[in-house]
């Protein structure tokens, strides 16, 4: 009986050892195959993805606000006067939006001499005319910083902190609009 039980354990143990050797061999083979695989060149595009995008993210095409008959005169007048425009559309009563509105007011007091600031509660966004349509958004919250030439420096379609809002406005107002290089460094 004793012999039979040793034989009964020997076969499964041998199978486990052989299977382990096969698995280890395959893993080493795959690793070696991947290391020796020829590298292929990736085609590069002429698109510069390191530019400041309209949404604060890389890879998006830039947006430009072009005054039309549907664009409110207060925005058209600001752009014609060579002033930047900072916009906030928010939902009153939503805690995050109320916080953004408070932050917007703080930033406005700091930079009111350098740009025109406009904010509207969601029920009043129709007063923005075609601006939100041109920006490609249809629901608050929206925070956008538009340079005096109509180019959208940054735009956010969700909650942002006071620090981000302040920094974006500061960066947009201190960046030379006549410069065509907007590379992020």
pLDDT of 62-95, one tens digit each?
A: 889 999 999 999 999 999 999 999 999 999 999 9
Helix (H, G, I), strand (E, B) or coil at 121: strand
pTM of the model: 0.64
The average confidence (pLDDT) of the chain is 79
Domains of the chain and CATH, by start: 73-174 (3.40.30.10)
Cis before 54 (ω within 30)? no
Q: Is the pLDDT of residue 39 over 70?
A: no
Higher model confidence: residue 133 or residue 13? 133
Q: How many CB atoms lie within 10 A of CB 170?
A: 15
Query: What is the 8-class DSSP label of residue 64?
Result: B
**Residue 90, H or E segment:** strand 84-90
Query: What is the 8-class DSSP label of residue 89?
Result: E
91-117 tens-digit pLDDT: 999 999 999 999 999 999 999 999 999
In the chain, count of helices (H) and strands (E)? 5, 4
């Amino acid at each position: 009986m004793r012999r039979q039980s040793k034989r009964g354990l020997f076969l499964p143990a041998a199978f486990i050892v052989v299977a382990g050797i096969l698995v280890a061999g395959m893993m080493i083979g795959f690793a070696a195959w991947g290391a020796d695989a020829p590298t292929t060149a990736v085609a590069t595009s002429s698109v510069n993805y390191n530019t400041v995008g309209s949404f604060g993210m890389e890879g998006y095409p830039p947006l430009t606000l072009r005054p039309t008959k549907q664009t409110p005169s207060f925005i058209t007048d600001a752009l014609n006067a060579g002033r930047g425009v900072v916009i906030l559309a928010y939902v009153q009563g939503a805690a995050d939006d109320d916080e953004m509105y408070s932050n917007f007011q703080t930033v406005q007091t700091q930079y009111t001499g350098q740009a025109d600031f406009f904010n509207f509660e969601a029920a009043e966004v129709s007063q923005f005319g075609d601006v939100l349509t041109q920006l490609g958004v249809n629901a608050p919250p929206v925070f956008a910083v538009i340079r005096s030439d109509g180019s959208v420096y940054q735009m956010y379609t969700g909650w942002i902190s006071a620090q981000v809002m302040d920094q974006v406005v500061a960066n947009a107002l201190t960046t030379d609009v006549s410069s065509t290089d907007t590379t992020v460094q």
